Amino acid sequence: MITHTAKFVKELRYRLGMTQEQFAMELGVTLNTINRWENGKSHPSPLALEKITQLSKH
């Protein structure tokens, strides 16, 4: 199930012009983690959400 968070993460990554791999490196997580977030299979941790929020302000 695609969640609001999953949609936000994917749209932000697209807006930043990053691949999943680049986005993962920027956030300090694995490519598989980004894939799971974007597919709604898991959710970012509070620390990851903080980093995502900071990226969204660029």
Tens digit of each residue's pLDDT (9 = 90 or more) over 4-52: 999 999 999 999 999 999 999 999 999 999 999 999 999 999 999 999 9
Q: How far apart are CA 33 and CA 41, in angstroms?
A: 9
Rounded to the nearest 10 degrees, how much is the dihedral formed by the CA atoms of 35, 39, 45, 51?
60
Q: How far apart are CA 14 and CA 45, in angstroms?
A: 21
The number of CA neighbours under 13 Å toward the Cβ of 30 is 4
Show me where the domains of the chain are located. 4-56
Taking phi first (over 0 means left), then psi (-120 to 50 degrees means alpha), and beta for anything else, what does residue 55 get? alpha
CATH number of 4-56: 1.10.260.40
Please state the pTM of the whole predicted model.
Answer: 0.89
pLDDT at residue 2 above 90?
no
